[in-house]
Homo-oligomer: A and B are copies of this chain.
């Protein structure tokens, strides 16, 4: 009777996967930390089997490291890896954006404007940070969505998660957020104008600026608390 088809009726395994993925990206666990499976079982109130299945998936996805017979640990953070992630993200996202501008139709243009607007609105209400992050991710996803390559999109999503492990380390900075928001707006404008060259250049700048923020947070992070655990 329900006219809405559930895309994939959730299971305990898929739920804990989603939760852990979010928590890992948000730095809920300390970098390098060994995960105590029994503790997780208690904390998240979930059985061992679905938990282990989720951990296995997260390891394959790159948000955990798995070592046979000695469980799972959170990957460490490093300047070098941040550079790698940012550089690779730059290459792939820039490539995808170019294709998206070439292929995106009117529906895409509408989606872009909507995504940008939603993000801007969320920015005003400062209290809902989670929501802003969600919309921010969604905005960047929309930018490259019609690039035509399922695999490119998949990799970009993965890199975003990795990047955000660094970017979300510190406290929120409204000033920088405003600058980035301005760029979001300009990115949409250039995309609508189909100005590939300028759009790529701006996306490049945008990612570099985000990189600066992420690097700063990572650098300061070591001196402060080990993690917000």
Q: Smallest CB-CB separation from A84: which chain B residue?
A: B149
Tell me, rounded to whole Å, the shortest Cβ–Cβ distance linking A93 to chain B: 12
Q: Kindly state the separation between the CA atoms of A208 and B57 in the bound complex, as whole angstroms.
A: 32
Q: Smallest CB-CB separation from A154: which chain B residue?
A: B62
Q: Does A11 contact B (CB under 8 A)?
A: yes
Identify the stretch in A48-56, A186-194, A199-207 within 8 Å (CB) of chain B at 4 or more residues: A48-56
Q: Kindly state the separation between the CA atoms of A91 and B11 in the bound complex, as whole angstroms.
A: 37
Contact with B along A59-71 (1 / 0, CB 8 A): 1111000011100
The A120-153 residues at the B interface (CB cut-off 8 A) are 148-152
Tell me, rounded to whole Å, the shortest Cβ–Cβ distance linking A83 to chain B: 9
Q: Does A44 contact B (CB under 8 A)?
A: no
Q: Smallest CB-CB separation from A52: which chain B residue?
A: B53
Q: Kindly state the separation between the CA atoms of A87 and B151 in the bound complex, as whole angstroms.
A: 10
Q: Smallest CB-CB separation from A53: which chain B residue?
A: B56
Q: Does A45 contact B (CB under 8 A)?
A: no
Query: A interface, how many residues as a size bin?
Result: 35 or more
Question: Out of B14, B60, B68, B87, which one reaches A68, CB within 8 Å?
Answer: B14
Label chain A's interface by main secondary structure.
Answer: helix
With A9-B69, A149-B88, A162-B151 as given contacts, are A61 and B62 in contact (CB-CB < 8 Å)?
no
Cβ of B155 and Cβ of A68 under 8 Å apart?
A: no
**A154 cross-chain contacts in B, Cβ below 8 A:** 62
**A46 cross-chain contacts in B, Cβ below 8 A:** none
With A49-B49, A61-B60, A95-B91 as given contacts, are A84 and B11 in contact (CB-CB < 8 Å)?
no
User: 16 A-B contacts, Cβ less than 8 Å apart?
Assistant: A8-B67, A8-B68, A8-B69, A9-B68, A52-B53, A53-B53, A54-B56, A56-B57, A57-B57, A62-B154, A81-B150, A84-B148, A84-B151, A85-B151, A91-B95, A151-B159
- Taking A11-B68, A58-B60, A85-B151 as known contacts, 14 extra A-B pairs with beta carbons closer than 8 A to each other, sorted by chain A number, are A9-B68, A9-B69, A10-B68, A49-B49, A49-B52, A52-B53, A54-B56, A57-B60, A84-B148, A84-B149, A88-B151, A91-B95, A151-B162, A155-B155
Which residues of A line the B interface, CB within 8 A? 8-11, 13-14, 49, 52-54, 56-62, 67-69, 81, 84-85, 87-88, 91-92, 95, 148-152, 154-155, 159, 162
